[in-house]
Amino acid sequence: MIPISDRNPRSAGASPMRPGLYTGTASYKLDTMSVADELHPVLHAGRVAVITGAASGIGKAAALEFAKLGLKVAIADVDEARLAAVGKQLVEQIGEANVLIVPTDVAQIDQVTRLRDRVYEAWGEVAVLMNNAGIGIKGTSWEGLENWHKIFNVNVFGVVNVQQVFVPSMLHQENPAMIINTGSKQGFTNPPGNAAYNASKAAVKSLTEGLAHELRNQPDSNVTAHLFVPGWTWTGITGANGGAEKPAGAWTAEETVLYMLDHARAGEFYILVPDNETKREVDQLRIMWGAADIVEGRPALSRWDPNYKALFEEYMRDGLAQLD
Ligand SMILES: NC(=O)c1ccc[n+]([C@@H]2O[C@H](COP(=O)([O-])OP(=O)(O)OC[C@H]3O[C@@H](n4cnc5c(N)ncnc54)[C@H](O)[C@@H]3O)[C@@H](O)[C@H]2O)c1
């Protein structure tokens, strides 16, 4: 039982979650993956990348980057016109034989199955599977039920469909492979404003952690899973496709993808990407504050509760001073 004094918002008493006890940088590294780019067993020329949501933003940037590394690239998206445009760019870059353009709605299992069949028929393997398609339409707690269904069908069941269809085939390959699921910081910290999106990304965190554990415990598995958590990135979802200029605080999709690739190469599971506004230490402190809501018995989302405003600000100030 937590003593009442520790629940008082104005008490800054000892807490297991205070940053002073935080021991430093994350260390989820697999030594086998910490090798030079050209030697990496998965991310190297001649192998195969499959990317959903590849017609725009992060998925598009990833497709172009994989092509630059010499991988064959299969791109999938519901937006056929944009997908065709990205496909054209890729064909110019690496040639028709190395590009598959497969219009796909990830919410439809038959379309995902078709995507897998096209890739295995063409190239016989998958090295990198980027489960990236996502939507951010609004669904608040007691409104927008239809949007809740849409968001879960894409952001959650899209990921589940792709895993269910691809993982059994990937487990049969001898070559190592990786699955990169795109989550969100909103799935960790749950900021008020879009309950449906947050809940869908919390589900992606949960199911990707489960996937990583299951793969790790699968005899002879050569497949790893990674939770890619972009920072604020200037893409379709955040307004980029309307032609507006990138806000200073956001990263470009290319920056986010390059950071992701560096950390995937290093074998990290949680790939938490910063941006020009939010550095890693700020994310770390916010995540720990959210976890402390549970262990200290504070109100839900106390970070946005006026009674906790001063304490949260003090916590961030002290925490950053200690971590810097
Ligand atoms: N941009 C950010 O700041 C940010 C931050 C955190 C997480 N994310 C996540 O990154 C991922 C990529 O989004 P983005 O930022 O590049 O946005 P984006 O809108 O530019 O790209 C998302 C792509 O997914 C496609 N898509 C939507 N529904 C689909 C479906 N049913 N089947 C197949 N494709 C579908 C869209 O057509 C679009 O091309 C998403 O999962 C998003 O939630 C983005």
86-104 confidence digits (pLDDT tens): 999 999 999 999 999 999 9
Ligand 1 atom at minimum distance from 182 CA: 41
Within a domain: 178: yes
Domain shared by 4 and 34, yes or no: no
Banded model confidence at residue 38, pLDDT cuts 50, 70, 90: low
Domain shared by 10 and 47, yes or no: no
Model confidence at 32: pLDDT above 70: no
106 lines ligand 1 (CB under 6 A): yes
147 lines ligand 1 (CB under 6 A): no
184 lines ligand 1 (CB under 6 A): yes
Ligand 1 centre to CA of 229 (Å) is: 12
Domain shared by 45 and 186, yes or no: yes
Ligand 1 centre to CA of 118 (Å) is: 22
Model confidence at 28: pLDDT above 70: no
Within a domain: 273: no
Measured by CA distance, the residue closest to atom 23 of ligand 1 is: 53
194 lines ligand 1 (CB under 6 A): no
71 vs 6, higher pLDDT: 71
Q: Which residues are catalytic?
A: 197
Residue 131 and residue 182 in contact, taking contact as beta carbons nearer than 8 Å: yes
Ligand 1 centre to CA of 194 (Å) is: 16
Query: Taking Cα atoms as reference points, which of 134, 141, 144, 138 lies closest to residue 300?
Result: 141
Predicted pLDDT at 39 = 72
In the chain, how many domains are there?
Answer: 2
Percent of the chain residues topping a pLDDT of 70: 88
- 124 burial (CB, 10 Å; 0-12 / 13-18 / 19+) is exposed
Domain shared by 114 and 139, yes or no: yes
Over residues 268-284, mean pLDDT: 96
Banded model confidence at residue 37, pLDDT cuts 50, 70, 90: low
Domain shared by 210 and 225, yes or no: yes
Ranges 21-35, 63-77, 138-152: which has the least confidence:
21-35
268, 298, 315 - which closes a domain: 268
Domain shared by 65 and 106, yes or no: yes
Within a domain: 321: yes
Domain shared by 294 and 149, yes or no: no
Ligand 1 atom at minimum distance from 197 CA: 43
Domain shared by 236 and 178, yes or no: yes
Ligand 1 centre to CA of 38 (Å) is: 29
The structure's pTM equals 0.90
Domain shared by 178 and 68, yes or no: yes
Task: Give the three-state DSSP class for 49.
Answer: strand
CATH number for the domain that contains residue 45: 3.40.50.720
Within a domain: 181: yes
Domain shared by 180 and 288, yes or no: no
Ligand 1 atom at minimum distance from 55 CA: 39
Query: Domain span at residue 166?
Result: 29-268
Q: Write down the residue that tokens 């990496």 correspond to.
A: 40
Indicate left, alpha or beta for 190 from its phi (over 0: left) and psi (-120 to 50: alpha). left
61 lines ligand 1 (CB under 6 A): no
Model confidence at 254: pLDDT above 90: yes
Over residues 2-24, mean pLDDT: 40
Residue 173 and residue 123 in contact, taking contact as beta carbons nearer than 8 Å: no
Q: Write down the residue that tokens 């192998």 correspond to.
A: 47
225, 243, 268 - which closes a domain: 268
